[in-house]
Amino acid sequence: MGSTVFKGGIHPDYHKELTATMAVTAMKAPEKVVIPLQQHIGAPCEPLESIEVGTEVKIGQKIAQSSGFVSAPIHASVSGKITAIGPYNHPLGRPVEAITIESDGEEKWDDSIKPAGNPDNLTAEKIREIVREAGIVGLGGATFPAHVKLSPPPEKKIDIVVINGAECEPYLTADHRVMLENPEEIVFGLKMMIKALGAEKGVIGVEDNKPDALKVLEQEVAGEDNITVASLHTKYPQGAEKMLIQVTTGRIVPAGGLPLDVGVVNHNVGTAVAITNAVREGKPLVERVLTVTGSGINRPQNLMVRVGTLVSDVLEHCGGLKEETVKLIIGGPMMGLAQPSPDIPVIKGTSGILALTGEDVYLAESSPCIRCAKCVDHCPVQLLPTSIALASEHEMFKKAEKLHAMDCFECGCCAFVCPSKIPLVQWIRIAKAEIAKANKK
Amino acid sequence: MDKKMIVSSSPHVRSIESVQSVMTDVLIALFPVALMAVLLFGYQALITMVISVVTAMLVEALWLRKKDIFNDGSAAVTGLLFAMVLPPSPPWWLVVVGAAASIIIGKQVFGGIGYNIFNPALVGRAIVLVSWGGYLAGNVWSPPQPFAFGADVSAVTGATALAGQGEALSYSLTQLFIGTVPGCLGETSALALLVGGAWLYYKGHIDWRIPLGYLGTVFVMGVIFGGGFYDNHLMTGLFHVLAGGVMLGALFMATDMVTTPVTPVGRLIFGIGCGLITMLIRIWGALPEGVTYAILLMNAVTPIIDNFTVPKQFGGVKKNA
């Protein structure tokens, strides 16, 4: 083990008590789902040839896919009739092609959904295929297709699989509940990943502000000789890939590199459960656990929600938004995306729906940088956020690149601590986009 | 449901810290120093501090045409720090001119808070020092009269401990630590300065690198080049740390956020540089004390230091910038 604490980071108010003790309940399937064809990083999906307006579909039926390798197919999440195919609002901002299904209320699963056979007899190749066909993506929010991470190039030997149960974003408790309620599925999913990768061992990392989850998982892995549970210091962004790998394995992912460069693959706890469901029952990813919370929500809770459910329907299920709500966020408060309206679907990567009232959102104007260097001291990747932001503001993007702007993963620690309330992440994002554009030419 | 929500870039939550809260913390940190100044130098110290703070706040408010004279608190900090580097009872007009110069020439002409290159309080001090040196150099220093609030301390004056070996040997290290020696209002008591510095460190407003780099360099150079006149070489090193303005400079002036490097290595270099220049002036220079010029000179090279000390990013390979 290397250092047990990563450099930098912050201790925000977590507000997890709003939902931490509330068991996951399944939200009734909505009357209508809107399923975007882009829910993952990579090539967008195209509707299957048999899919058009008027087609009857069942739960779990594949409705769209892509020929690209870095992609994940998409499945119907309710049974019913397709009523529209066209652009629809999307949590990432721009409207995206989506398939709208009106539920017939019968909740019939597709006939193709069946177990692949005894999991012990599955080959690595078969596990990868099951994961790909199930449309599983990283459920922590990054939505990278899970099967791609299970198919490293042959020259990269993977020996450790790290499972991310840190859930370092304030407010969110979905992963916490999954760890408490599905520990067996997490460990089984981890075993499948270890098998698919030919890895030697697995580590499940959990922040120590969730002692109950640590206890449950430790009991679950008690009989396993190659799986351990690591109790992690509670500090944001502990769940960030590079920080998590550093504290669980002692390995440093090189700048600009990937975890597989140091023999590690990591997945979220929810992804592990999804893989288990796919292997054991043949179930594709059609629903997920998310936390609906924040000072603007009347009844905060953890919900199992069908992919494609409109956020407005989820909010209604939770008693609606309070009048004082000023911000609606998909994801957590540190890295989530603010939404103009709840008329957007829940997608595979939606880990939380957060509504904040004015008291919790700092809306002050920014003032000039006083060079206090708090952003420097709290940056987990040791950048100079204030200098990059200044370069970006003056359109000196070459300089921003020299200052390693591309290594920023936008965790938001810098902007969080800034006493001048400068939107540092926004400036750095602009620099990153410009640098990427310039390098493409 | 039709109400439009605010859309802005993440993060959506912020710490409650603001420029005003940081400046307020600096004022709190200066409280023990100011209290000690009043205990040692009486009502005249209090008057000097009040004139300086009020002038600085008024001048800044007038310049910015703002009604809120406290505003972000930075002018009050500058005003108080300027008073700290003055003798106990300078003429009132000198305090006014210096405090106004600190704000206008030290800060506002560069564009205001965040844009100034030099420490504003030290700019003010440098200006009054070269203009009316007779009030700030030589035998103008009043010995403290502890707990005699109403006494006229300016009745007796002499030199500071840094004037020569004879003056140095007339004060014990304990006196230098407690502060019962002649000197500027805020510089004499190492004890009070350490209490204030500890508060700033606890609040996360200063980093150890600048103060320790500064004090460490002064100590080491004092040991090696100090001549060992003060009992022995180690004691002479300690004398140089405790005497004069080094403590005040290291904890409150060289740690000014705006005018010092943002990179961790840069901060260490800054501290060491301040220490080197201070000791060069003290031991080989023509002036008895060199803190003001040391910090101002290092302020000038801060952008260069920042440029050459960009840290290696997480997982990055070391290469020369």
**pLDDT range class, residue A234, cuts 50, 70, 90:** very high
CATH number for the region A115-281 comes to 3.40.50.11540
- CATH number reported for the structural domain that contains residue B275 in this entry: 1.10.3430
- The amino acid at residue A34 is V
**pLDDT range class, residue A2, cuts 50, 70, 90:** very low
How many angstroms away from the CA of B131 is the closest CA of chain A? 30
Task: Look up the ipTM and state it.
Answer: 0.92
How many angstroms away from the CA of B211 is the closest CA of chain A? 15
Checking if the pLDDT of B1 tops 60, the result is no
Task: Find the CB nearest B10 among A334, A377, A384.
Answer: A334
Give, as one character, the DSSP assignment of residue B6.
P
The answer to the question of residue B310 being in a domain is no
**pLDDT range class, residue B3, cuts 50, 70, 90:** low
Measure the CA–CA gap between B254 and B260, rounded to whole angstroms: 7
Structure tokens at B288: 């008895």
Phi and psi angles of residue A205, each rounded to the nearest 5 degrees, phi first: -100, 125
Checking if the pLDDT of B193 tops 80, the result is yes
Q: What residues pair up with A356 in beta bridges, in sequence order?
A: A327
**pLDDT range class, residue B2, cuts 50, 70, 90:** low
The answer to the question of residue B123 being in a domain is yes
Checking if the pLDDT of A152 tops 70, the result is yes
User: Span A231-258, mean pLDDT?
Assistant: 95
Checking if the pLDDT of A139 tops 90, the result is yes
How many angstroms away from the CA of B26 is the closest CA of chain A? 13
Helix (H) or strand (E) holding A26: strand A25-26
Checking if the pLDDT of A11 tops 80, the result is yes
Domain ranges within chain A, ordered by starting residue: 115-281, 374-440
Residue ranges in A134-182 assigned as alpha helix (H): 146-149, 174-181
B88 CA to centre of own chain: 16
Task: Find the CB nearest B10 among A321, A336, A367.
Answer: A336
As a whole number of Å, the end-to-end CA separation of chain B is: 52
The answer to the question of residue B6 being in a domain is no
The answer to the question of residue B175 being in a domain is yes
Helix (H, G, I), strand (E, B) or coil at B316: coil
pLDDT at A79: 96
Task: Find the CB nearest B263 among A257, A339, A384.
Answer: A384
Checking if the pLDDT of A128 tops 90, the result is yes
Q: Kindly report the number of other CB atoms within 10 A of residue A54's CB atom.
A: 8
Q: Give A 282-311 residues with CB within 8 A of chain B.
A: none
How many angstroms away from the CA of A69 is the closest CA of chain B? 28
The answer to the question of residue B9 being in a domain is no
User: Span A262-267, mean pLDDT?
Assistant: 96
User: Span A433-441, mean pLDDT?
Assistant: 92
Measure the CA–CA gap between A41 and A65, rounded to whole angstroms: 13
Q: Give A 35-64 residues with CB within 8 A of chain B.
A: none
| B130 close contact with A: CB closer than 8 A | no
Checking if the pLDDT of B201 tops 50, the result is yes
| B21 close contact with A: CB closer than 8 A | yes
With CB atoms and an 8 Å threshold, state whether A342 touches B1: yes
Give chain A's mean pLDDT.
94
Give chain B's mean pLDDT.
93
Query: Among B136-145, B181-190, B198-207, B276-285, which stretch is predicted with the lowest mean pLDDT?
Result: B136-145
**pLDDT range class, residue B320, cuts 50, 70, 90:** very low
Measure the CA–CA gap between B287 and A72, rounded to whole angstroms: 74
pLDDT digits (tens, 9 = 90+) for A286-331: 999 999 999 999 999 999 999 999 999 999 999 999 999 999 999 9
Indicate left, alpha or beta for A410 from its phi (over 0: left) and psi (-120 to 50: alpha). left
Cβ contacts of B207 on chain A, cutoff 8 Å: 373, 377
User: Span B120-133, mean pLDDT?
Assistant: 95
Structure-token match 């803190």, residue found: B291
The answer to the question of residue B68 being in a domain is yes
**pLDDT range class, residue B121, cuts 50, 70, 90:** very high
Scored b (16 or more CB within 10 A) or e, A176-194 reads: bbbbbbbbebbbbbbbbbb
Cβ contacts of B17 on chain A, cutoff 8 Å: 417, 419
Cβ contacts of A423 on chain B, cutoff 8 Å: 8-9
Cβ contacts of B19 on chain A, cutoff 8 Å: 367, 370, 419-420
Structure-token match 């000014």, residue found: B256
Checking if the pLDDT of B188 tops 80, the result is yes
Higher pLDDT, B149 or B18: B18
| A252 close contact with B: CB closer than 8 A | yes
Q: Which domain holds residue B170?
A: 19-304
| B71 close contact with A: CB closer than 8 A | no
Q: Give A 360-399 residues with CB within 8 A of chain B.
A: 360-364, 367-374, 376-377, 380-384, 386-387
Cβ contacts of A407 on chain B, cutoff 8 Å: 313-316
pLDDT digits (tens, 9 = 90+) for A28-68: 999 999 999 999 988 899 999 999 999 999 999 999 999 89
Checking if the pLDDT of B236 tops 70, the result is yes
**% chain A with pLDDT above 90:** 91
Name the closest residue on chain B to residue A320, using Cα atoms.
B1
Structure tokens at A290: 């998310």
Residue ranges in chain B assigned as alpha helix (H): 19-41, 43-64, 74-84, 92-104, 120-131, 165-169, 173-178, 190-202, 209-225, 233-242, 246-248, 264-279, 291-308
Measure the CA–CA gap between B55 and A435, rounded to whole angstroms: 47
Q: In what order do the strands lie in the sheet with A201-207?
A: A227-232, A201-207, A160-165, A264-268
| B8 close contact with A: CB closer than 8 A | yes
| B10 close contact with A: CB closer than 8 A | yes
pLDDT at A237: 96
For chain B, what is the domain count? 1
Name the closest residue on chain A to residue B321, using Cα atoms.
A402
Checking if the pLDDT of A441 tops 50, the result is yes
With CB atoms and an 8 Å threshold, state whether B314 touches A10: no
| A10 close contact with B: CB closer than 8 A | yes
The answer to the question of residue B138 being in a domain is yes
pLDDT at B318: 52
